[in-house]
Amino acid sequence: MLRTHTCGQLNISNLGETVTLCGWVQKSRDLGGTTFIDVRDRYGLTQLVLNTDTDAELREAGKQLGREFVIKVTGTVVERSNKNTKIPTGEVEIAVTELEILNAAKIPPFLIEDETDGGEELRAKYRYLDLRRNPIRNNLVLRHKMAQEIRRYLSDIDFIEVETPVLIKSTPEGARDFVVPSRMNPGEFYALPQSPQTFKQLLMVSGFDRYFQIVKCFRDEDLRADRQPEFTQIDCEMSFITQEDILNIFEGLTRHLFRTVKGLELGDFPRMQYADAMRLYGSDKPDTRFGMQFVELNDVVKGKGFSIFDNAELVVGINAKGCANYTRKQIDELTEWMKRPQIGATGLIYARHNEDGMLKSSVDKFYNEEELAKWSAAFETEKGDLILILAGETDKVRKQLNELRLEVGGRLGLRDKNKFAPLWVLDFPLLEWDEETERYHAMHHPFTSPKPEDIALLDTDPKNVRANAYDLVINGTEIGGGSIRIHDRELQSLMFKHLGFSKEEAQKQFGFLMDAFEYGAPPHGGIAFGFDRLASIFAGLDSIRDVIAFPKNNSGRDVMIDSPSTIADAQLNELKIKTTVSPA
């Protein structure tokens, strides 16, 4: 080794030792006859001291060092006169006797500091420099610890880690596939897996009753803060189990991670029906760190001549506690925020429960104080509370009110990143109607089992068929989701029929799985956690990018290596492919 110690290792117990350190120059300070240099590696930072009286030539060499130079130094550990208690090495420094520049460095395009002056795109272009910063490096260390604990927990309860193929068959369900041309089979394509779903089910047929994999998955979909075209799942499957078994085991995994990685003991994991989540929060992944549940008002406000309410399919609102002192300007600003195209509300009705006990609304023309008292009773308001109401189509207005609830909760400081509220959401709809294709699609995937008591509804009332499906939500983010699978060929064929597949299409796409079911498929089910999302919650981040070593931007580009990119004509010819790019 070029070094005897790391830059985060030395302390007062090493006084008098001769040591050698290697690392990057963080910064240099020239103070008259003495030069101080901070040298850094991934373990920490140590201060070096070069003194004119001791070795003038060496000090002159030290003055030539720039930020991010890679150096090797040898010297004696001495006690610092001005100790820095904020870092582990802050009681000592190295009196340098030898200095070697291993590699000079250009001036970096942004400060390699915890608080940097580099913008997101600039840091993405020089990601290898951004990774030197403590916050980003710490995120990857955190992710590593989580992966180790995941493997430890699952291995200890007899799960086997099995790798599944990355070059697979394209299927029509779910998001768009990334496809890969086959040189050896011209005109044919592999797809990159959106998940190992069919393979893990085949492993259950094979008798591997407890499987897991920390696995790369790929989806060609529009991106946002918690999406990347390639992402990582903690993928798990089990045989001979019930839904209750899966909830208990993976609640246990979640508790284990919080305990071992964050040192926190989680409280209860409440359970909520999908229908109740939509009714009370307008979301299948409600943030339950705070209340502010929806209150439906159709029976209270209709028939008073106010057409916006009278003509609405649903009138619903929230109680923003303590917000009656919001000014008209603040409420107007909130209304305009709700009218943004990405939310699409047409307006916002409000009522104040003032400190003097009076009730005043923005629609006093239609509702007197006696009527407003009914509003107050419905929302259980107290003095100082503010009622915020939306009206419109049921599904649309619930989604809009969910956005309003989260925004108000954020403004009131109720979405504390150091507070964790887990929740199981159960019994999702099996199917959802797609207006564009005018047919039902699987809400999760085509292999999800319907509730046995709802199977008869597939023919008569498909939208009300419930699935044996469950999601784990933490702080309003879906962390994991799964289901009990169909393991019977006849039921799987029925499911494909209701999804609009002909027998021939089903056989072509999924014949291998259907055939496997004829050789003794056990009852099975599983779950997949979004590892990137889980890591971002542990790190207290809104975006998953900073828990991924080399992420892509919102256009799906890696600006560091300039990917995706065109390929040479020779490669296209070898693949027997011609490309024609149509205008957008």
533 known member of a binding site: yes
Q: Where are the beta strands (DSSP E) in 495-539?
A: 524-530
55 known member of a binding site: no
Rg (CA), the chain: 30
Phi, psi dihedral angles at 434 (to 5 degrees): -110, 115
Residue 178 to residues 159, 175, 195, 584, Cα–Cα distance (Å): 30, 10, 12, 19
Q: Residue 210 has which token pair?
A: 């407890």
**C-alpha to C-alpha distance for 315 and 297, rounded to whole angstroms:** 5
Phi, psi dihedral angles at 197 (to 5 degrees): -50, -55
Query: Which H or E run includes 474?
Result: strand 469-474
158 known member of a binding site: no
220 known member of a binding site: yes
**C-alpha to C-alpha distance for 502 and 507, rounded to whole angstroms:** 8
**C-alpha to C-alpha distance for 218 and 236, rounded to whole angstroms:** 17
444 known member of a binding site: yes
Whether the bond between 452 and the residue before it is cis, its omega within 30 degrees of 0, is no
Query: Which H or E run includes 38?
Result: strand 34-41
Please give, one letter per residue, the 3-state secondary structure of 231-251: EEEEEEEEECCCHHHHHHHHH
Residue 364 to residues 305, 361, 388, Cα–Cα distance (Å): 12, 5, 14
Spatial contact of 338 and 400, defined as CB atoms under 8 Å apart: yes
Burial 139-164 (b: 16+ CB within 10 A, else e): bbebbebbeebbeebbeeeebeebeb
36 known member of a binding site: no
8 known member of a binding site: no
371 known member of a binding site: no
529 known member of a binding site: no
Residue position matching structure tokens 């006797």:
97
235 known member of a binding site: no
222 known member of a binding site: no
26 known member of a binding site: no
Binding residues for ATP: 219-221, 228, 478, 530-533
Binding residues for L-aspartate: 173, 219, 444, 485
Binding residues: 173, 219-221, 228, 444, 478, 485, 530-533
